[in-house]
Amino acid sequence: MSILQKLVLASGSPRRIQLLQQAGIEPDRVLPADVDETPLRAEHPRSLAKRLAKDKADKALASLKSEEDYAPAFILAADTVVAVGRRILPKAETIDDARNCLGLLSGRSHRVYSGVCLITPGGKQRLRLVETRVRFKRLPREEIDAYVASGEWRGKAGGYAVQGLAGSFVVKLVGSYTNVVGLPLYESIALLSGEGFKAHQNWHASRP
């Protein structure tokens, strides 16, 4: 008898949902886990990404356990941090945020870190960190103005979305592209598969 597996995504990010769908995985439930994302004093960007991913997974688990019909499930959480050196860039919410981020990234290399945390139905916790290096071209003021006017930056770590218009800013990318979008697919699927989740069970249905 096959055991019904359920996957809970501890994020309301449309990008993360779309990336899982791209890999043939449809979360059984989307459970955004809001946590305080303020960095601790002198916290390294990579440490922040791991801590927040773990906090989101733990919060989703606690929320599920409070439900009367709680059934153990795989819980997947992630957090993405953009940094220049040790300087952590914010998730841009204002025009000033976006301009400051783009001005700092212009003509420079930066790093994108994603922490990915998986909690299995049995309570085992796995945590991975993925790092991608990205270099932007030099951005003239008129190009920054045009990108800010697009509104695409809103709510994005570092003030840009690589899968959108800002893809034209990238001179070089070393590492996982999907990490920069918001969820490193290779590492996420490897975590799930390594703990017994049948990540490829729906692929037969997607054949043309």
Q: Which residues are catalytic?
A: 79
Can you give the length of the chain in residues?
208
Query: Other CB atoms closer than 10 Å to residue 90's CB: what's the count?
Result: 17
Question: Do the Cβ atoms of 111 and 97 come closer than 8 Å?
Answer: no
Running DSSP on this structure, what letter comes out for residue 91? B
Token reading at 62? 């606690």
Residue 180 and residue 92: Cα distance in Å, rounded?
A: 15
Please report how many Cα atoms fall inside a 13 Å half-sphere around the Cα of residue 102, on the Cβ side.
29
Token pair 């688990």 is at which residue? 61
φ, ψ at 71 (rounded to 5°): -130, 135
Integer angstrom CA distances of residue 176 from 104, 113, 173, 184, 208: 22, 10, 8, 6, 27
